[in-house]
A and B are shown apart, each in its own frame.
Chain A
Amino acid sequence: KQEVTQIPAALSVPEGENLVLNCSFTDSAIYNLQWFRQDPGKGLTSLLLIQSSQREQTSGRLNASLDKSSGRSTLYIAASQPGDSATYLCAVRGLNAGGTSYGKLTFGQGTILTVHP
């Protein structure tokens, strides 16, 4: 059974800092990994998707890396801003028995990020 853990559970930083959020998963047989952002009372917004064959993906100030063999991913946020304050969730998609992408998306508990001015 896939288990996803995110560390830290909460993080508070001053504006302008670079920061790293961590995600680890127990079963390395994954199809891809996706990072999401969730604002209070809202749904999930997809930030980055990394296929299992990729090492990293970048979008603006965000960079996500994936080390499938060690079961780890990191989300790097450069020059943080108060608008980055939200809960960040990572989710891994497992492989089904046929090795296709129909495997379920398993989420971590999330990291609550607060960026203060």
Chain B
Amino acid sequence: EAGVAQSPRYKIIEKRQSVAFWCNPISGHATLYWYQQILGQGPKLLIQFQNNGVVDDSQLPKDRFSAERLKGVDSTLKIQPAKLEDSAVYLCASSPGRRVGTEAFFGQGTRLTVV
């Protein structure tokens, strides 16, 4: 079974530029998460989708971050414009719907450096 796929693996941009990350969850998984992990800290939830609807985006900086999940499958996370403090690893995860089980599976992450 293929895991959660993320791209790119690494990205370096200048502040005030824009960037987009892509995630392809495990096939059939209804729930998709985007997490931000700053060096030395635990992951922080940015947004959670259930199919193509948003369940929780309370910690998403909506003035600069946006995310969408088209047709309830792939998802993109965008930052525009980027700030220095956005340097982090962005992790995507997916889990099945509640009838199947709720173990979360993570991708390898995208490491963003803003200079």
- Of chain A, the residue at the smallest CB distance from B107 is A43
Q: Which one, A31, A102, A106, contacts B45 given CB within 8 A?
A: A106
Measured CB to CB, the nearest residue on chain B to A93 is B102
Are the C-beta atoms of A44 and B91 separated by less than 8 Å? Answer: yes
Number of interface residues of B (CB under 8 A): 26
The stretch among A11-19, A34-42, A70-78 that forms the contact with chain B is A34-42
Residues of chain A contacted by B44 (CB below 8 angstroms)? 107
Interface 0/1 of A88-114, CB less than 8 Å to B: 010101001000111011111110000
| A86 is an interface residue with CB less than 8 A from chain B | no
Across the interface, do B102 and A104 meet the contact criterion of CB distance under 8 Å? Answer: no
Q: Shortest Cβ distance from B108 into chain A, in angstroms?
A: 4
- Inter-chain contacts of B41 with A (CB < 8 A): 109-110
A54 CB contacts on chain B under 8 angstroms: none
Q: Is the interface of A mostly helix, strand, loop or mixed?
A: strand
* A44 adjacent to B106 (CB under 8 Å): yes
Residues of A within 8 Å of B71, CB to CB, are: none
Report if A110-B42 is in contact (Cβ < 8 Å); known contacts: A43-B109, A104-B56.
yes
Q: Is the CB of B42 within 8 A of A107?
A: yes
Interface presence of A32 (CB below 8 A) = yes
Taken together as a complex, chains A and B put the C-alpha atoms of A36 and B37 apart, in Å, by 14
Contact B108 A46, beta carbon cutoff 8 Å:
no
User: B42 and A34: CB pair below 8 A?
Assistant: no
Nearest-CB residue, chain A, relative to B101: A49
Decide: B108 and A43 in contact? CB cutoff 8 A.
Answer: yes
Residues on the A chain within 8 Å of B111, using CB: 41
Could you tell me if A42 and B109 are in contact, using CB atoms closer than 8 angstroms?
yes
